[in-house]
């Protein structure tokens, strides 16, 4: 397979991980492949120039797989970053030319995706070791190269927006979940606390979040009721729901 890279178009991935407690983002060390043995500390989002004949979604899947080993994970294209000056730092540009083997890079438009990973579900804890990739809590993101801080922030905003309008949360919850788990996840993603009583009232009104006659097991507090998400019911109701005016 011809893996020649397109010198003008790349894909960058904001990979969010949720461990039941904190929201994190996967960052890689730019210098992991540096030939001089130096281990610098220039961090970036996982990304790559696209292969010439490759659809963008496949590029994103390829990048996700390379850095996490995972496939079939939720991936959403959320924005295009096209500032003609985004590669203007010469040192970083030279690194990109060298590491990609594409010498005629002057400007790259990047298509950004975000993805959601359940960290306790991946069954892998060695992601960071294999590729010099590491998880960073979203409240403590260091300076990244290129415009990657801007891309990350935009990814976070789009994730929040997605949580407010779509049932993304179920990508990160176990199939059977407690209302505490659901509320905690929303609080982590949105970055603020929610009122317990109001939250429960709202959930109880949603016909697509179904209480089971089942409770948690193996917890050292009063086991809470378990719930499931009825996607079919949600899709029917969503179809009937409209919005702004009508």
Residue 101 has which token pair? 């083997």
Residue 78 has which token pair? 């959320």
- The nearer residue to its own copies, 48 or 54, going by C-beta atoms, is 54
- Which of the residues 152 through 211 are near its own copies (CB under 8 A)? 163-167, 169, 182, 186, 190, 194, 199, 202-203, 206
Alpha carbon distances (Å) from 207 to 163, 200, 229, 239: 18, 13, 9, 14
Q: Which residues, listed in sequence order, are joined to residue 80 by a DSSP beta bridge? A: 111
69, 127 contact by CB (below 8 A): yes
Q: Which residues, listed in sequence order, are joined to residue 10 by a DSSP beta bridge? A: 49, 110
# binding residues, its own copies (CB under 8 A) = 37
- The nearer residue to its own copies, 8 or 136, going by C-beta atoms, is 8
- The nearer residue to its own copies, 124 or 200, going by C-beta atoms, is 200
- The nearer residue to its own copies, 7 or 69, going by C-beta atoms, is 7
CB of 110 to its own copies, least distance (A): 11
Residue 55 has which token pair? 């659809």
- The 116-155 contact track toward its own copies, x by CB under 8 A, reads ----------------------------------------
Which among 109, 121, 3 is positioned nearest to 66, based on CA atoms? 3
Q: Rounded distance, CA 125 to CA 121, Å?
A: 10
Which among 126, 114, 110 is positioned nearest to 157, based on CA atoms? 114
Residue found under tokens 């790559």 = 48
- Which of the residues 57 through 86 are near its own copies (CB under 8 A)? 77, 80, 82-84
Candidate list 52, 201, 215, 225; residue touching its own copies; CB under 8 A: 52
- The nearer residue to its own copies, 27 or 209, going by C-beta atoms, is 209
**246 forms part of the interface with its own copies (CB under 8 A):** yes
136, 94 contact by CB (below 8 A): no
CB of 122 to its own copies, least distance (A): 25
Candidate list 4, 22, 39, 53; residue touching its own copies; CB under 8 A: 53
Which among 88, 95, 82, 78 is positioned nearest to 14, based on CA atoms? 78
- The nearer residue to its own copies, 63 or 133, going by C-beta atoms, is 63
Q: What does the binding site for its own copies look like in residue numbers (CB under 8 A)?
A: 6-9, 52-56, 77, 80, 82-84, 106-107, 109, 111, 163-167, 169, 182, 186, 190, 194, 199, 202-203, 206, 242-246
């Amino acid at each position: 397979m011809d893996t020649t890279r397109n010198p003008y178009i790349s894909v960058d991935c904001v990979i969010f991980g949720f461990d039941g407690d904190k929201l994190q983002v996967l960052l890689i060390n730019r210098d992991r492949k540096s030939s001089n043995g130096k281990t610098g500390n220039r961090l970036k989002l996982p990304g790559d120039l696209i292969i010439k004949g490759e659809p963008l979604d496949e590029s994103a899947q390829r990048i996700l797989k390379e850095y996490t080993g995972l496939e079939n994970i939720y991936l959403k294209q959320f924005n295009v970053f096209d500032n003609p000056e985004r590669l203007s730092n010469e040192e970083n540009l030279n690194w990109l030319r060298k590491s990609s083997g594409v010498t005629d890079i002057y400007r790259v438009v990047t298509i950004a995706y975000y993805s959601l990973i359940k960290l306790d579900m991946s069954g892998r804890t060695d992601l960071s070791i294999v590729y010099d990739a590491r998880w960073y809590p979203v409240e403590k993101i260091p300076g990244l190269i290129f415009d990657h801080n801007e891309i990350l922030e935009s990814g976070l905003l789009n994730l929040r927006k997605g949580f407010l309008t779509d049932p993304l949360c179920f990508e990160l919850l176990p199939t059977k979940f407690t209302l505490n788990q659901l509320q905690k996840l929303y609080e982590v993603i949105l970055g603020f606390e929610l009122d317990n009583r109001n939250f429960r009232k709202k959930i109880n009104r949603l016909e697509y979040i179904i209480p089971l006659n089942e409770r948690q097991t193996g917890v050292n507090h009063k086991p809470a009721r378990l719930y499931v998400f009825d996607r079919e019911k949600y899709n029917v109701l969503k179809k009937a729901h409209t919005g702004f005016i009508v």
